[in-house]
Structure 1
Amino acid sequence: MELSESQRWFLLITTLVVGVLVYLLAPILSPFLVGALLAYLTDPVADRLEARGASRTLAVVIVFLFLSLIMVAAVLLLIPQLSEQIQTMIRQIPLALDVLHNRLLPWIENTLGVPINRPDIDSVREFFRSHWQQTGNLAAQIMGSLTRSGLAVAAWVANLVLIPVVTFYLLRDWDLMMEKIQRLLPRNLEPRVTLWARECDEVLGAFIKGQLLVMCALGVIYALGLSIVGLDLALLIGMLAGLASIVPYMGFFVGIVVAAVAAYVQFQEPMVLIWVGLVFGIGQALEGMVLTPLLVGDRIGLHPVAVIFAIMAGGQLFGFVGVLLALPVAAVIMVLLRHLHEGYKSSRLYSSDKPESTGEVE
């Protein structure tokens, strides 16, 4: 695929313009990016419904109603329970400090034979006891501050309203937009760019679509397992472990550590740690033997280190918009690096007995 000089300048200028626009418009891009992500995730479902005889509009309406039911159920069922568990966690902080001061630190001193300078635990405990009610009403304080700022409330409500509207229209016209973008490509670039786009979709499909389902499934498994154990913070820790599973194995390590601490503070019996370990062991076994092979398969995904770096770099450069764009951009970069690597292996830079490259982009 040989690029003319004008095409190279066109691609460079287009990339720079898009980057500058993303930087300047970042404060208003969040609802559009969330809507585009939801449309991308649900487009295969709409395509399957359309293949079974439904019109595109009917298929989109069915998918949209299903998404709306999930959102409503999450708001009505999960958020009140999460709020209650957060307040429970705050109330247990003084008890956790007592366990740390009276059990854990003495055990470390006796085991290692090293004296530890203990903090003034009484003052810390008194601070939390005097402020836990105020901290527990943090959501109410945030809503109160938002209420006092009319513009902030209007922007917040507008973003919430925009997300379903953008999702609906993007999902309805998704295939048409992809086709129009493909037709706009220069004819000599279209075959290779289409190939790259398919590879990027494979990477994103393996990671975002598959890993998102794995995250949700693990969150449910961990929450149910910890609730059977009797942990008060089962839902909160289960969702935390599920979200952390965006990076493979991170959810397991984060969840088991947090759950072990919470379980020991609540029950103060070492045997409960065995049950916590059993819950996360079962979840990890299901992830490795059932969830990942079924939902992700053997498709190429993003390396865990690349995921961490992409999310942190996107957040540092563009805030929340950067976090939303991090994985798609990382997938594109990964595909381009793979092709650059193939071009390098076939060039004289790698092996001097091979002919010099003629300006062809691999």
Structure 2
Amino acid sequence: EENKSEQSQLWNKFINWANSPETTSSLIHFVGKAANGFIGALGYLIGLFLIPVYLFFFLKDSAFIERYWDNYIPLKDSSLKDEIVSVVKEINVYFVAYFRGQVVVSFIDGALTGVILMILGLDYALIIGVSLAILGVIPFVGFILTAIPALLIAMAQQDGPSALAVLAVFIAVQQFDGLIIQPKIVGESVGLHPLTVIFSVLCWSLIIGGILGALLAVPLTASIKVLFQRYIWERKIQSKTPVEEPIQTT
């Protein structure tokens, strides 16, 4: 009977706690935050996996886009519209060159990682390398998304490399990518010095923040270069160029 009485008291306390306004408010708040977090994470993942798809069609149809995009500018034919079209076309050349260079870089990263992991004896090393070659177009994120399953495979595999060795491979390839491969290949594709590429990634990562800043660093820097060339450097050169006066003959 005492046990039944204690159970009854506990049950009544639970009912009172569950029916209290504070509990209801806390539960609603928790469910709302959880739902928002789930929707946000789902949208982020969908957008993440759509980036390679968007990049593929962007490169595939770049000629069509370059030819007809100016028809959608809401301006009448004028010198202003011609100037805007000219600037954007020049910037677009750098954007296309950057993304093409990024595809080459991600392919090299995937090949390096896959080959090294195969030499170490990791299961599914080829799949991991191919995944990195596809997702590597997204700086840092591609490495993280492929490193996590690689580490899990290493921990589950008994006769393979340790998880620490696999992590060291990803870190080494990431450093090699950031300091040598990307500045060299991407920098040459957009006409920027490798040191300029490294510096731009650091600056835009601080200004915009994280992954987005690293992804847009090179094309944004190239765009600024275009604007400086057209409206500052060239005009300074033109203003300093002496105007030859016609020779008067008598």
Choose 1 or 2 for highest CA Rg.
2
Shorter-normalised TM range: 0.3 to 0.5
Q: TM-score, normalising length from structure 1? A: 0.33
Q: TM-score, normalising length from structure 2? A: 0.46
